[in-house]
Structure 1
Amino acid sequence: MKQIIQDLKDGNTILEEVPAPLVKPGQVLIQTSRSLVSLGTERMLVEFGKANFLQKARQQPDKVKEVFNKVKTDGLQPTVNAVFNKLGQPLPLGYCNVGKVIAVGKGVEDFAVGDRVASNGNHAEYVSIPKNLVAKIPDNVSDEEAAFTVIGAIGLQGIRLANPTFGETVVVVGLGLIGLITAQLLKANGCQVIGFDYDSAKVALAESLGITSVNPGEGNDQVAFVNSFTNGVGADAVIITASNKSNEIISQSAKMSRKRGRIVLIGVIGLDISRADFFEKELTFQVSCSYGPGRYDEAYEQKGQDYPLGYVRWTEKRNFEAVLNAIDSKVIVVEPLITERVPLDQYESIYGDMSGSKSIASILVYPEKSGEPKRAITISSNVFEPGKGTVGIIGAGNFTSAMILPCLKKTKAKLKFISSSGGLSGTTLAKKYGVAQSTTDNSLIFQDSEVDLALVTTRHNAHAKMVIEALKSGKNVFVEKPLALNQEELDAVVEAYKESGKTVSVGFNRRFAPLAIQMKKALGSGDTPMNIIATMNAGLIPPNVWVHDMEVGGGRIIGEACHFIDLITYLSGSKVKSVCMNAMGVNPEENTDNATILLKYENGTNGVINYFANGSKSYSKERVEVYHQERTLIMDNWRKLKGFGFKNFSSASSGQDKGHQNQFNLLIDSVQKGGSPIIPMDELVNTTKASFAAIESLKLGAWVNVD
C-alpha cells in the first residue's frame, strides 16, 4: 500500500510503499477512500522537517536540554547516534481518514465489514484503528463530507470547554479549516459569532456562511469592533484556532473579553500572558486537548474501555458522531470549504509548497482496490540459505532502530525479514539496513524455511507468545527482556523449549559488556560468596506509559531490573535462591519503579539491586560495586572500572559499552555454528523467576523462595 510520510531529517514529503497492516484485536481495518489534509497542523510538521538542525533545536529547547544531559552521562557519540536515530524515523502524516471496513478485530462488536467509517487514520491506503477512534458515517453523508469529522471534533471540543449559552457572543480568532467549522457550530448553538482572520478570502467565505467576519489587516481594530458589536460588554468567550507564534493574539483576546470571560486555545500561539489583562477581568484560560475526553488515554484509545455516558457525556468518539450528525442534518456545511480534490499519487501538488498555500481543505482521493492487500514488500533480492544465520526480526521500534540493527549489521547475520505492526517503521529500517523484506505478518517469518533465528523486540506482553511460536516453527529465538510476564507464560516457554531442540536467548546484554567481562576476570572463577550492589538510576517514566501496565509491560522490575539480576548471577557464578523486595512509599498491591531488591544466591552471595526512578538524569545511570575477599570493584556507567586490593588490576575504561555488540556477535556465531546458547537456559529461567518473586515478596512483605 501507499502512505504519505514526512522525513524529519531532510524535510522531504514522500509517498512510501509499505506493507498493509493486519487488523489488531479491538480495532477495525479500513480501506481508505478519502482523507483530508489539515494544512495548519501538517504545515508545521513539514516546515519542521525542512528546517536545519539549528532551527530544529530552536523550536524544541526542552529537547536540547535533554541532549546536553545525555552527553554528560553517556558521552558525545552515543548521544549523537541517538539524536540522528530519532530524526531518521519518518513521521506518518494525516489524521482525517474515511473509508470502508474490510476486517474486524477480536472484541469489536459495533462494526461490520462494509461499514463506511470516519477515523483519525493517517494518509494511507489501509489503516488499522482502535474502535473508540472510529465512527459510522450516516447514509446521507458523502465520504468527502465525512473527511471533516476529526477536524470538526477538534473545534467541537474547544466549544464544549468554552461552554457557551444561547445568545452569548463568541469570537473565533483564525478562520482556517478548524475556525470555519467552529464558527458554524457556534452559530448552530445560538451564539452571536464574530470571526477574525487576515486572509480576505477566508473572511469572505465565513461571511457567505452567515458569520460576522473581519479582516484586521484592512484597518479594523479587533477590540474596538467587539466592544461596538456587544455595546461595550465584550465577548463572553474567545476561541483561538489560529497558528501564530506572536503573543499579540492572547493579549487581544483578553482585551476583547468581558469581565469573567472565557478564552479557549485550540491552535498554537505565543503564550506570554499579561497578568494585568487576566487579573482585572478574572478571565479563565484553557487549552483544548484534541478531539475530546479519552485522547491520549491508553485504556480508552488502545484497550477500548469507554467512559460511562452518564459521567462523561462527550468522549472523542461521541464528538465524532456529533459532528457527523451535524453534517447529516446540514447544521454545518463543509462542501464550500473544499479547495481542491487531488488523487493520492499527485500528493506533491498539496505538499510541494504548503507555506504559500491559500487552500482551506484539500481532499486526497484514493484509488479503488479489490482483493487482499499486500502484507509484505521486497526491498532487496538477496539470496539466503538455511544454517547461515538468516534472521527474521519481529518489532521495529526505537530499540531495534537504535541498537539491534546497527549491531547486527556488524555481524555475519543475513537479514531477511523485519516485521512491524503498521508497516512503515519496518520498511524504513529495511531500506536503511539492507533487510530483504518488510512485512506486517509475523507468520511469514515463522513459516520461512531459510530463517534460522527469530529475533523478538515487541512489547513485553507478546514476548512469550512469540518465543513459543518461533520454537514450534523450528527456529532459534532471541527475545529482548523479559522472557515472560508471569509463571504461566514461563512454564509454556520452557515446555516449548524442551520439545524444540532449539536455543533461546534473552537480551541480558550487560554480562557481555567489556567492563563486566573484566570484572569477572578480576574476581576469578572460585565459587565463593561476595557482596554485590547494583544501582540503576532509571529515570522517571510517566505512569501512563505502557511499561507500567502489568498486563502489557509487566512493570519496570520484571521488565528492566531483571538485567541486574542476570548480571549478579554472571558475576557471582551462582543462581538466585530467594528474594525480598521493599518499595518506596507505595501500597504493596501497586506497581513500583522505586525499590530495593535483596537476593540470596545458592553459593552464599548477597546481592542488592537499587532500582530508582526518582534520581537526577544528570547523574550516572548505572553503577555496580563488588566486595570480595578484601577486594573491591567499582564500575561507573559502563565507562570506568576501578579495582582496590587487586594485585594485577587497578583500573580500566571503555566508551560506554553495555555489551550489545558482543552479545550479537556471540549470538550469530552460535546460530551459524550450532554451538551452546550464549546464556544457559537454566539461568534465564532462574532470573525470570527471581523477578516474579520480587513482585510477590512486595505483596507478601516477606522473603520468597525461587524454586
Structure 2
Amino acid sequence: MRQLAQYQDGRLELQDVPTPMPPPGGILVQTTCSVISPGTEKMKVEQARMSLLQKAKARPDQVKKVLDTARTLGWKSALEKVRNRLESPSPLGYSAAGIVIAVDELNTRFRIGDRVACGGAECAFHAEMIAVPDLLAAPVPEGVEDWQAAYTTLASISMQAVRQASVQLGDRVLVLGQGLVGLLATSLLRASGARVLVADYAETRLDTALTLGAERTVNPGQSSLPDAVRDWTGGDGVDAVLLCVGGRGNEAADTAITCLRDRGVMVIVGIYDAELSWKIAYMKDIQVRYSRSYGPGRYDPQYEWGGRDYPIGYVRWTENRNFDACLQLMKTGQLPLAPLTTRRAPFTDAVSVYDALMQPGNTDIGVILDYGNSAPLLPTIAPQTDLSGSSFGASSPDNSSFSPPSSLHVLGAGNFARTMLLPHLKGNLPLGTIVNATGLSARHVKEKFGFAQAEADAAEVFKHSGDALMIGTRHHLHAPLVLQGLAARQHIFVEKPLCLTREELTQIDTAMASTQGSLMVGFNRRFAPATVALKQHLAAIPGPKTLAYHVFAGPLAPDHWYANVEESGGRVLGEACHFFDYACHLLGRPVQVMAQSIGRPAFPDSVTAQIAFADGSSAQILYSAEGDQAYPKESFRLFASGFVAECENFQKLTLYRNRKRNAMAYTSKGHAEEMAAWLAFLKKGGDHPLAYPEARQSMVLTFAVLESLRQGGAVAV
C-alpha cells in the first residue's frame, strides 16, 4: 500500500509500505478520504524544513534530551540517536474515513464493510490502509458522505473547545482565528444556539464564517476588535472567547481578555503559548481553560489503545462520543462542510497538494484527499499471529548439533534497535524480515540496513526454522514472541525484560527444555568494557563483596509508554531488572531480598533493594525517579578485600588498591560488545554469551523484589 511520508529535511514522498494489521480490539480500514489540516500539518512541514539550529530553538525540550543522552551514553551515541531521528520518515494526517476490511477478533462493534470515521495522529494517516483502535473510530450514519466523515476528527477538536467554553443558549462568543478549526467552531457554536462574532485577517475566511452562521465579522487589521465587541455586546463584553490561533506571546491573549465580560471564559484551542498580562486578567477574574484535542480519552493509552471506555455517568463526552455527535450534526445538516472545502485532489497528488499549501498567499482551508475507493477490497493479509503462547509445537531433536542461522529477522523497529543494536549487526549476517506495526518505520529500516523485506505481521518470521530472531517490541509482547521463536527452533535475542510474570517464565522454562533454539536477554551492562575490566580484577580477590548501585532514572512523563503498566510491566520490572542482573553478574547467586518503595504507589518507580548472596556478598540497588539532572544516571561502588571500585555511567572506572588510584575511561555501555558476542555465537556455536539460567536468575530476583514490595518483608529468592 502507499502512504505519505515526511522527512526531517522537509521532503515528502508517497512510499510503498507494508499493509498494517488491525491492533488488538481494532480494525483495518481501507481509506476513502482524508483531510489535510492546513494549520497543524503545514506547521509540521515548516518545522521539518528548518535548519538544525532553528529546530533546536523551536524544540528546547528535545535539545535537553540529547544532552541527557550524551551525559549517560556519550556524545557518539547521542549524535547517532539524533541522526536516526532526523533521517527517519514520519507520517502525516490524523482525520480520515473509509471502509472496514478486517476486524480483530476482540472487536465486537464493527463488521467488514462498515463505513467509519477515524482519528488519531498515531494511526489515521494519509495512507491507503490504516489500522485503528476501536475508540478512535466511529460508524458513519447514512446520509453522510465519506468526504464529510473525513472531517470528524477536526470537528471534534472544535466541539471539545465549545464544550470547554460551557456555552449556553444566547451566549455571545468571540472566535479569534478562522482557520479550519476556528470555522468549525463557529459552525458548532451557531448550532448550539450561541451568537457568534469572529475575527481574522483573511477576508475570504470571514466571508466563509458568515456562511457558517457568524453574526458579525471583524478584520483586526482594518478596525478595532475591542470596539466592535463593545458595540456588539452593549459594552458588556463577550461571555467566552475561543482562541483558535497559533504562536506565542501576549497580544492575542490580551485582546481576548479585553473583549471578555467580567468573569468570562477564555478557551485556548490552538498551539498557542499564551502569556497573560496579570492585571487585566486578575481584575476581570477570568477563567482560562485549555481544550485538549478531541476530548476526554485523548492521550490516555488505556482508553485509546486498551479500549477502556469511560462510564457515561462520569464522563458524558469522550472523544469517541464527540465523534458520534459530530457525525450526527453532519447528517442533519447542522454542520455544513461544503463552504470549508476549498480543494479536493487525488491521493496520488498529495505531494503536489502540500507543495501548493506551502506557497505564500495560499488560501485553502479544508483540503480533501480522495483515494478513489468506492467498494471494500478483500484484505490480502494473513490472520494475525497468535501470541497466546499456549502451544509450543512438538519436542525438538537433540540440541548438540549447531547450524548457523541463514538470516536474522527483527521484530520491532524502534529508535533503540536502530541506534544501539542494528548498526553492529549490519554486514555481519544476512538480514531477512523487519517487522513493525508502523509501515513507514518498517520500510525505512529495510532500506537503511538492507533487510530483504518489510512486514507489519510477524507470522511470516516464524516460518523460518533455525534462523536468528531479534525482539525489540514493547515488553508485554516479549514472552509470547519468545515462545513462538523457540517453537521454531530460532536463536533469539530479546531486549529486557524477558517476561512480565512468573507464569510466562515457567512457560519459557518448558520451551527451553525442548528446543534446538537458544535465548539471550539484552542485559548489555554485563558486556561493557568497564565491566570486563572489573571482573578481571575481582577474579583474583577472594571473599564476600559489597555493591552499592545508585540509579537516578528521572521522573517518568505521564504519556510515556512505560506509564502503561500492562505494556511495560512498570519501571521496576521493565528497567530496574538491568541492575538486579548486574548485581548477579558480579556477586553470584542471590538468596534473599528486602525491598522498599517511596510511598505506597500501586506501581512504584522508586525502589531500594537489599540483596543477600549465597557467598555472603550483599548489594544495595537504589533506583529512584527523584533527584537532579546534574547527577549521573548510574554510579556504583564495590568494596572487597583490599579493593574498591567506583564506576560512573560505565564511562569512568576508578580502582583503588594498594593505596593507589587507577582511573580508566570508556565509551560503551556494552551494546556493541553484546552484539559482537551474540554474532560470534550465531556464526560458530559453542558457549552461549549469556546462558539462559543466568538470565532466568536475574528475572527471578526481579520478581522477588516485587513480591517483597507487596509483602513488606524479606523474600527468599
TM interval, shorter chain, is over 0.9
Work out which of the residue numbers 420, 425, 437 in structure 2 matches 1:403: 420
**How far, CA to CA, are the matches of 1:184 and 1:549 in structure 2?**
37
User: Quick check: 1:394 aligned with 2:411?
Assistant: yes
Question: Could you say which residue in structure 2 is the equivalent of 1:579?
Answer: 593
Match of 1:613 in 2: 625
Work out the CA distance in 1 between the residues paired with 2:561 and 2:133: 16
Q: Does 1:273 align with 2:273?
A: no
Which stretch shifts more, 179-188 or 513-522? 179-188
Offset, 1:560: 1.4
Deviation at 1:371, TM superposition (A): 3.7
1:432 aligned residue: 448
1:570-649 correspondence to structure 2 within 5 Å: 570-572=585-587, 574-586=588-600, 590-645=602-657
Deviation at 1:5, TM superposition (A): 2.0
Conserved in 2, the CA contact under 8 Å of 1:118 and 1:134? yes
1:189 paired to 2:188 = no
- Aligned-residue identity in percent: 35
Q: Distance between the aligned counterparts of 1:622 and 1:583, measured in 2?
A: 19
Instruction: Tell me, yes or no, if structure 1 residue 301 matches structure 2 residue 304.
Output: yes
Q: CA deviation at 1:195?
A: 1.1
1:566 aligns with 2:581: yes
Partner of 1:524: 539
- 8 Å CA contact 2:186, 2:212 repeated in 1: no
- How do 1:663-702 residues align onto structure 2 when only pairs under 5 Å count? 663-702=674-713
- Opposite residue 581 of structure 1, the aligned amino acid is A
The equivalent position to 1:354 in structure 2, one of 350, 354, 357, is 357
Counterpart Cα distance in 2 of 1:465 and 1:69: 33
| 1:183 partner letter | T
Structure 1 window deviating more from structure 2 (47-56 vs 542-551): it is: 542-551
Q: Calculate the TM-score normalised by the size of structure 2.
A: 0.93
Q: Is the 8 A contact 1:247 1:269 kept in 2?
A: no
CA 1:75–1:404: 2 relative to 1, 3 Å = closer
Secondary structure at 1:662's aligned position in 2? helix
Distance 1:283 1:422, change over 3 A: same
Supply the distance in 1 between the matched residues of 2:221 and 2:641 (Cα, whole angstroms).
85
Q: Please, which of 371, 378, 381 is the counterpart of residue 366 of structure 1?
A: 371
C-alpha separation in 2, matches of 1:255 and 1:461 = 52
What residue number does 1:163 align with? 166
Against the structure 1 CA distance between its residues 550 and 406, is the aligned structure 2 distance closer, same or farther, given a 3 Å change threshold? same
Q: Distance in 1 between matches of 2:606 and 2:104?
A: 37
TM-score normalised by L of structure 1: 0.94
Question: Contact 2:211/2:339 (CA < 8 Å) preserved in 1?
Answer: no
Residue from 424, 428, 435 that aligns with 1:412: 428
**CA drift at 1:398:** 2.2
Displacement of 1:7 in angstroms is 0.9
What is the CA–CA distance in structure 1 between the aligned matches of 2:555 and 2:452, rounded to whole Å?
Answer: 38
Write the distance in 2 (CA, Å) between the matches of 1:288 and 1:29.
Answer: 29
Q: Is the 8 A contact 1:72 1:618 kept in 2?
A: no
Higher mean C-alpha displacement, 463-472 vs 209-218: 209-218
Report the CA distance between 1:647 and its aligned residue.
Answer: 8.8
Q: Is the 8 A contact 1:575 1:683 kept in 2?
A: no
Aligned residues: 690
* 1:497 paired residue number: 512
Match of 2:25 in 1: 26
User: Is contact 1:557–1:592 with CA below 8 Å preserved after alignment?
Assistant: yes
Q: Judge conservation of contact 1:527–1:603 (CA < 8 Å) in 2.
A: no
Structure 2 residue 301 is the aligned partner of structure 1 residue 287: no
- Structure 2 gap ranges (5+): 384-402
Aligned position for 1:329: 332
For the structure 1 residues 36 and 544, does the alpha-carbon distance in structure 2 shift closer, same or farther, using more than 3 Å as the test?
Answer: closer
Q: CA-atom RMSD, angstroms? A: 1.9
Q: Are the equivalent residues in 2 in contact too, given 1:453–1:476 (CA < 8 A)?
A: yes
Query: Which deviations, in whole Å up to 9, do the C-alpha atoms of 1:529-586 show, x marking residues without a partner?
Result: 21112111111113553324443211122211221222222222x2222222111222
- Separation in 2, partners of 1:94, 1:439: 22
Distance 2:697 2:496 in 1: 13
For 1:443 and 1:466, locate their aligned partners in 2 and report how far apart those are by CA, in whole Å.
Answer: 10
Q: Which residue of 1 is the match for residue 568 of structure 2? A: 553
**Deviation string, structure 1 residues 78-128 (Cα, Å, up to 9, x no partner):** 322222222233221111110011111132111111110001111111111
CA contact (8 A) 1:522 1:649 kept: no
Cα distance in structure 2, aligned partners of 1:35 and 1:472: 42
* Counterparts of residues 36-75 of structure 1 (less than 5 Å): 36-75=35-74
Q: In structure 2, how many angstroms separate the alpha carbons of the residues matched to 1:397 and 1:71?
A: 19
The DSSP-based 3-state class of the residue aligned with 1:352 is helix
**CA distance in structure 2 between the aligned counterparts of 1:548 and 1:605, rounded to whole angstroms:** 34
Q: For 1:4-19, what aligned pairs fall within 5 Å after superposition?
A: 4-8=4-8, 10-19=9-18
Q: Is the 8 A contact 2:594 2:715 kept in 1?
A: yes
1:443 pairs, out of 446, 453, 459, with 459
